[in-house]
Structure 1
Amino acid sequence: MSTETGGPTERAVDAARRPLAALFEPRGLALLSAGLLLFSFTFPLYGIIDVVGDPSTFLLVVAVTLVLATGLSRVVGAWTALPVGLGLLVLGLWMYASALPADVVAQQDRILGDVVSLFMGLSVLRLQMIELFALAYTPAPVFLTWYLVLRRRYVGAALVGGAALTFFVLTGDVDTLVALLGALGAVGTVGFGRLERFGGADRAVETMAVVLAAMVVATMLVSVVPGGTGTPFGLFGEGGTDTIEGSLINSDQRVSIQGSISLSSAVRFTVESPREAYWRTGAYDRYTGDGWVRTGSTLDYRGEMSGPQGESRIVEQAVTIESELDAMPAAWKPVRVSENVAGDTSVTSLGGLQPASAFTPGDSYTVVSRQPVVSPRRLQRAGDDYPGRIESRYTNLPASTPDRVATRTRQIQDGAGADTAYETARAVESYLEREKGYSLEVDRPDGEVADSFLFEMDEGYCTYFATTMVTMLRTQDIPARFVVGYTTGEQVDSGTYQVRGLDSHAWVEVYFPDVGWVQFDPTPAGPRQDAEQDRIEGGGDLGNVDDDPEPTTEPPSTPDRPTTNPSPATPGSTVGPIRTPTTDGDAVRTANDERGGIPLPEPPSREEAALILVVLAGVAAGARRLGLHERAYRAVWVRWQPRADPASDVQRAFERVEYVLAREERPRRDGETPRQYLAAIDADEPVERVYRLHERARYAGDVTVSLADDAVAAANEIVRERTGPLG
């Protein structure tokens, strides 16, 4: 006989509610936590795929892997499934290695160096063929994490998923909030899994909160990757000051785009050269939507390097370092360095030079460059027959780049009547110079930088101009890249140039067949000389400048001071009319520059607020587990007695004294009368007095204000004399 009650509607509602209710049972919460952990390490992979291609294939791979794990969890034991997961990893990595270019595979030490560098804080985005790497890496951790949690192997699932997440924390490819969610997922998987097996809901939840808070605090206090460029999550930033020189010149493998900045007039180096140029320090090929990454490995300098493809002239530069500098400025294209630094010099995958360690004041070196000799006529005739490796590497954009960027670029092309790559580059360069203002006081956009600057911002500085121009050219399949370094600087003598922090800059290089890379500078030039000259004559820096920073950018909101310009026919120049370069300086956020007075702290970001809440919840849970909240309450309760009515006051005074006696002597036993208790502990007169007053109030009903005053005063005296720190 059926025991169900209610009509069909009620039974249908109950049936619909059961699956939802099951989600809030320990088993359902463990599965949800595992799903959160899966999200935390697949989300950065999705972002990586979006940078270089279409993420739909990646999503399909994740879905198929989850279906496979779900199916096998019903029919295959763990000792069979584990080899399947490891086999997926080995097979994926073998496929990735097999697809690498032959010249890369031949350099086994280079591959090993890439692998090691990932665990030293360098972004996964710097790997070649990154989309294939993501597709090869993903199935194994996804399969094992989901399979193990379905088989109720919660600790194993958390270990596998946590290891996959840790990899991306080490490389700096996961942001704070996602890393926090992953940590919460790992702790929840284990905690709710144990709760399903052993019960104890309150204690399990408290333990999870404490563990998660401890993880967050540990990452705040300990650098996960000393010396790495990744950004494992922490509270209230990374410490130090954002400067453009730190982000552009000393950024190594990655450049992020920042907001408002200011200048430094510090002299960085002096160059003796027969020709002026832009002193290039690095270039970046992979655009992420909010910054730049240089892919490929850095190799040791092994003698003279190749020069540009076409006609070139030799330019020798003698560089003397004036203040610490973690870069090796040189005119493009460097081909040889002096013997005194050859053993400590590396060559980047994009042909730039890097010192093994920072230069210090007084250091010097000589570098020989071969500057391309170009003219507008020659670039017009260069055509668009790009080598495959150049086209694939330097025309790639994130799949999420809005279509309106390409549409606007075509409109600019049509308006200028541009038919060649050179004409398009000049048209885009002129458009940005003309339509966008120059300012250091800008808010960092939340979305894709080039799109935001092109359509939503009225002004910006060099990083925004260069990023936008490269993006626009790439939408038209014109190879271009983001370049950083210093402009010519101030000519202090014939053939001698003094270069300051405020000369740090970002510009664009465009590739032309049979010519090579040619410089363009879309940042608007103008009369900034007075502002910079005042800065130089005034001495010192605007704000406290940290020379070991993270990204940012350039000078006050006026255009740039005129400097001696590189010849249009050299790499340090823009082809076409001689232009005054805009330079960007060593910089630091100055929150109170406009307001004056004491700077107000900025409100916490979304990630920082989340971390604060986690830490506070963990502290509260830990205090509850240790009984600290009860002990703290009692410490206040026994020392402070607010007055109410006489009867309540006497009762409270009696309870306070009993609490102190229980701590100092022993608690009163069940069935033991107050008189028996006092005799057993040999109580002194003040204690007996409180007990007598309590007995009189309770049994005689004689409770006056005077009696209550006596009881409270006696209790206060006992508490003061007998209580030390209650802790």
Structure 2
Amino acid sequence: MSTRQDDRLRFGGVAIPYHWLAVCSTAVLIGSYLSILYRITNVVGVAGDLLFVVAGALVGAMLLARKLPAWTAFVIGAILLVIGLFSYYATVPGVYLSLEQADRIIADTIALLTGLSVEMMREIETWALSVAPAAVFVPWYLVFRRRYGLAAASGGAVLGFFVLTGDAGAFVTLTGMVGALGIVAFGTMSRYGGTIAQMDVLAVALVAMILLSTTVSVVPGGSASPILPSSGGGGSGGGGGLISNDKRVAIQGSIELSPKVQYTVTSNHGGYWKVASYDRYTGDGWIRTGGSRSYEDQSPPPGTSYEVRQTFTVEADRVDAMPAAWKPIRVMGDMDDKTRISSTGSLSPRSALTKGESYSVRSRVPTKDPETLRDSGADYPSEIRQQYLQLPGSTSNRLKERTSEITADADNPYEKAVRIETWLEENKEYSLDVERPDDEIADSFVFEMEEGYCVYYATSMVTMLRTQDIPARFATGYTSGQRVSEDEWVVRGLDSHAWVEVYFPDTGWVRFDPTPSDSRSDAEQEMVNDARASGESGVDTDESENGTWTPEPTTTTTTTTTTTTTDDEDNSTSDGVDGPNPDPGDPQNPDLGELTSAVTPTETTNSSSEEGGGIPIEPPSREQLLYSGLLAIGVLLTARRTGILQRAYRTVWVRWQPRDDPETDVERAFNRLEYYLAQKHRVRRAGETPREYIASLSHVGVDDRAQRVGSLYERARYAGDVSREHADEAVSLVNDIVRGSKRRQSSG
């Protein structure tokens, strides 16, 4: 006689083959990492192409699985991957069939496996479309060949890759792990049979995975964030408002900034001290694609520019940013060995700078001459177009239409940029107290929000410019800060700022700032005054306590200069030493400082004005609710599997009895008594009457209360003669027995 169990899972009258449950689990596993690929392709507007490629891979796998053996899945998958990666590397600018290409492939692979997010790759759309067919085809093919272990392993390997790159967050990772577990479990049941009771094993494994996913970080320092909220500031160290040089920034809601001093700056010109710029807009934040490299001197911007020589001294305990006027062309002294340069030309320290450390930078700032910019045209280099015109697939048509209306009377990119900048300044109010929208940031700010701070203004302007095919990028850094002498500024955390850089042929990147300046400067001064009044430390240096330095009004004629540079970093003089005016928008007034954090303030607040305030309580996200629900279900099933749930139910059942009709009450009272006696002494034997059972236990202390309950049970069961009083008596007697009450006289 065969001992093989059923190969179907049965729920009532419905029977589902375990094989198809394994197929569904494979779909869950594949879907977990496809969600990552969909997200990143949607950012660059090719999500539709991804779905087409995936559909082809799924159909092809199902058809070929009927005719070809399992091992061919890996051959076909390898061929698809090689073709895809060759297509990707062939599209990367400057990479050719040579040793250079091999070096690039190896470098990219190592970078991805050590934590570089795929979202930061330049040709992300080509890469995603290249790897998707193989990642989908192999596990889907194998599950239809009923090679369940290999299907789980191949899909798990793809998911593991995205865990290593930091693109798979805790929720996606957990979902994929559940899918892999389901493939193995249901595949085993399909092959060898199983019962519904074995489903509890899956529940136990699920709970273990959930608990591990909340406490264990797979890749230290990875970019993925846990689902469960945690406290903690950024890596800036020194106080709210300092902007780090992170590759990814997320736009927040309300913020509160620190008035503490971050840097003192000695410079021959004031200006905006840039930290970083970002090219890829995701709809809810920014990413800087490409990596960083060892420092080397940079070429100056094309066209006319003036020189800014600056020295920054760190006043905070620890910082991980190196602000400098754009464009930095030389780091002077021995700091060049300790400096890296990003793919967008900004500086960053190899390790955090601490209080008292300083560095000097020579920059060439493009001259913002309106006539020159109006005549610059729109003949952009192909690499600039490709990198700085990207918009997410979620960008609405109405945003492009509104921008076209705003720029209708402008006939060149410069005038369009000015129109957009002016419209944002005049139509939106400045405020740090905002609620972050759930939808795409730029669209929400333009159409739904009445107020915001610099991050919202800059994000919206960059997006609006890109809808008009004008290359632009999101930049972060600091305004000049408080001017304390002719050539010195004090920069606080609340001077951190975000602005826009627009590309013009033959000039380079030119700054535009759509955030209203008056509201910013007023708010900054108020925050500094409040901090001084409350005696907060670190708000001033010896120089800033003496107030703001104001130059004597003079009437001079200034000229712009060409990009002349020398190799003598110590003795060369500035071509524009007499002071070309950097920009009518430059904050030469020391009170003109941006008060908001561009991206990552140390402190956040809901800015509630209600008395008593307290810690703001935020509602749980959809991911957290789903996560908690899965955990609750898993815990309940685990409790059932281990018998904990049954024991807990019996513990309550034997001590508490809901009331019904008298006959039912007496029968349940006796059942409770019998369960209690079985747990305390022994189980009633087959064929043993209630009276005989209770009498046999008299020698172990079972008294006449139990005998009275047995008598009432026999009357109810066999004579049908029981009253409400009898029922009340039976329930009360059993309550006394199970609760350990002292013996009392029973009624006759």
- Shared fold, TM over 0.5: yes
How far did residue 277 of structure 1 move? 1.4
Q: Separation in 1 of the partners of 2:451 and 2:31?
A: 37
Q: Separation in 2 of the partners of 1:131 and 1:36?
A: 23
1:610 equivalent in structure 2: 626
Q: Separation in 2 of the partners of 1:676 and 1:718?
A: 23
State whether structure 2 residue 335 is matched by structure 1 residue 320.
no
Q: Separation in 2 of the partners of 1:284 and 1:720?
A: 79
Q: Separation in 2 of the partners of 1:707 and 1:477?
A: 88
Q: Separation in 1 of the partners of 2:101 and 2:445?
A: 41
How far did residue 507 of structure 1 move? 0.6
State whether structure 2 residue 270 is matched by structure 1 residue 308.
no
2:218 equivalent in structure 1: 224
How far did residue 213 of structure 1 move? 3.5
2:227 to 214, 229, 234: 234
Deviates more, 1:350-359 or 1:631-640: 631-640
Q: Separation in 1 of the partners of 2:682 and 2:442?
A: 74
1:466 equivalent in structure 2: 458
Deviation digits for residues 574-619 of structure 1 (CA, Å, limit 9, x no counterpart): 8456665644134633236223323452221111111111111111
- Indicate the SS of the match to 1:78: coil
- Indicate the SS of the match to 1:67: helix
How far did residue 241 of structure 1 move? 5.5
1:349 to 321, 329, 343: 343
1:133 to 127, 138, 145: 127
Query: Which residues of structure 2 form unaligned runs of 5+?
Result: 1-12, 537-547, 552-557, 561-575, 744-748
State whether structure 2 residue 161 is matched by structure 1 residue 158.
no
- Indicate the SS of the match to 1:343: helix
How far did residue 264 of structure 1 move? 1.7
Deviation digits for residues 449-506 of structure 1 (CA, Å, limit 9, x no counterpart): 2222222222221111111111222222222111111111111233111111111111
2:370 to 376, 382, 390: 376
How far did residue 141 of structure 1 move? 1.5
How far did residue 183 of structure 1 move? 4.3
Q: Separation in 1 of the partners of 2:715 and 2:48?
A: 85
| Matching residue's letter, 1:66 | L
1:578-597 to 2 correspondences below 5 Å: 580=592, 582-585=594-597, 586=601, 588-591=603-606, 593-597=608-612
CA pair 380-202 structure 1, distance change in 2 beyond 3 A: same
How far did residue 219 of structure 1 move? 1.7
Deviation digits for residues 638-682 of structure 1 (CA, Å, limit 9, x no counterpart): 445678888877766665554445344443433456787679878
CA pair 330-650 structure 1, distance change in 2 beyond 3 A: same
| Matching residue's letter, 2:65 | S
> Where is the helix percentage greater, Structure 1 or Structure 2?
1
2:490 equivalent in structure 1: 498
- Indicate the SS of the match to 1:483: strand
Query: Which residues of structure 1 form unaligned runs of 5+?
Result: 1-20, 545-561, 722-727
Contact 2:33–2:176, Cα closer than 8 Å, also in 1: yes
State whether structure 2 residue 253 is matched by structure 1 residue 259.
yes
Q: Separation in 2 of the partners of 1:23 and 1:353?
A: 63
- Indicate the SS of the match to 2:407: helix
CA pair 166-208 structure 1, distance change in 2 beyond 3 A: same
Contact 1:309–1:515, Cα closer than 8 Å, also in 2: yes
Contact 2:486–2:549, Cα closer than 8 Å, also in 1: no
TM-score under structure 2 length normalisation: 0.81
Q: Separation in 2 of the partners of 1:283 and 1:653?
A: 76
1:367 to 357, 361, 364: 361
| Matching residue's letter, 1:684 | V
- Indicate the SS of the match to 1:138: helix
CA pair 608-243 structure 1, distance change in 2 beyond 3 A: farther
Contact 2:432–2:596, Cα closer than 8 Å, also in 1: no
How far did residue 360 of structure 1 move? 2.2
CA pair 646-356 structure 1, distance change in 2 beyond 3 A: same
Q: Separation in 2 of the partners of 1:172 and 1:568?
A: 50
How far did residue 240 of structure 1 move? 3.0
1:13 equivalent in structure 2: none
Q: How many residue pairs get matched?
A: 676
1:683 equivalent in structure 2: 699
How far did residue 311 of structure 1 move? 3.4
1:439 equivalent in structure 2: 431
Q: Separation in 1 of the partners of 2:602 and 2:62?
A: 53
Deviation digits for residues 360-410 of structure 1 (CA, Å, limit 9, x no counterpart): 222222222222344222223323232222222112223442233333333
CA pair 334-23 structure 1, distance change in 2 beyond 3 A: farther
Q: Separation in 2 of the partners of 1:64 and 1:717?
A: 68
CA pair 698-527 structure 1, distance change in 2 beyond 3 A: closer
Q: Separation in 1 of the partners of 2:251 and 2:516?
A: 19
How far did residue 80 of structure 1 move? 2.3
1:516-595 to 2 correspondences below 5 Å: 516-539=508-531, 575-576=583-584, 580=592, 582-585=594-597, 586=601, 588-591=603-606, 593-595=608-610
2:392 to 398, 410, 413: 398
1:208 equivalent in structure 2: 202
How far did residue 184 of structure 1 move? 4.3
2:641 equivalent in structure 1: 625
State whether structure 2 residue 307 is matched by structure 1 residue 295.
no
Contact 2:484–2:549, Cα closer than 8 Å, also in 1: no
Deviation digits for residues 125-146 of structure 1 (CA, Å, limit 9, x no counterpart): 2112111111111111110121
Q: Separation in 1 of the partners of 2:219 and 2:476?
A: 26
2:23 to 25, 28, 31: 31
Contact 1:646–1:708, Cα closer than 8 Å, also in 2: no
How far did residue 111 of structure 1 move? 5.1
2:328 equivalent in structure 1: 334
Contact 1:270–1:498, Cα closer than 8 Å, also in 2: yes
Contact 2:309–2:360, Cα closer than 8 Å, also in 1: yes
Q: Separation in 2 of the partners of 1:380 and 1:643?
A: 88
Contact 2:338–2:350, Cα closer than 8 Å, also in 1: yes
Q: Separation in 2 of the partners of 1:674 and 1:23?
A: 42
- Indicate the SS of the match to 1:252: coil
Q: Separation in 1 of the partners of 2:37 and 2:479?
A: 37
Deviates more, 1:709-718 or 1:303-312: 709-718
2:10 equivalent in structure 1: none
| Matching residue's letter, 1:683 | H
CA pair 103-354 structure 1, distance change in 2 beyond 3 A: farther
| Matching residue's letter, 1:693 | R
Contact 2:25–2:182, Cα closer than 8 Å, also in 1: yes
- Indicate the SS of the match to 2:354: coil
Contact 2:273–2:324, Cα closer than 8 Å, also in 1: yes
CA pair 221-540 structure 1, distance change in 2 beyond 3 A: farther
1:2-151 to 2 correspondences below 5 Å: 24-102=16-94, 106=100, 112-151=106-145
Q: Separation in 2 of the partners of 1:575 and 1:419?
A: 22
How far did residue 327 of structure 1 move? 0.9
| Matching residue's letter, 1:51 | V
- Indicate the SS of the match to 2:449: coil
How far did residue 630 of structure 1 move? 0.8
Contact 2:521–2:593, Cα closer than 8 Å, also in 1: no
CA pair 717-590 structure 1, distance change in 2 beyond 3 A: closer
Q: Separation in 2 of the partners of 1:660 and 1:696?
A: 17
1:693 to 704, 708, 718: 708
| Matching residue's letter, 1:715 | I
Q: Separation in 2 of the partners of 1:573 and 1:187?
A: 66
Deviation digits for residues 75-113 of structure 1 (CA, Å, limit 9, x no counterpart): 011122222222322332233234333369738666545
- Indicate the SS of the match to 1:463: helix
Contact 2:374–2:414, Cα closer than 8 Å, also in 1: yes
Q: Separation in 2 of the partners of 1:525 and 1:259?
A: 20
- Indicate the SS of the match to 2:291: coil
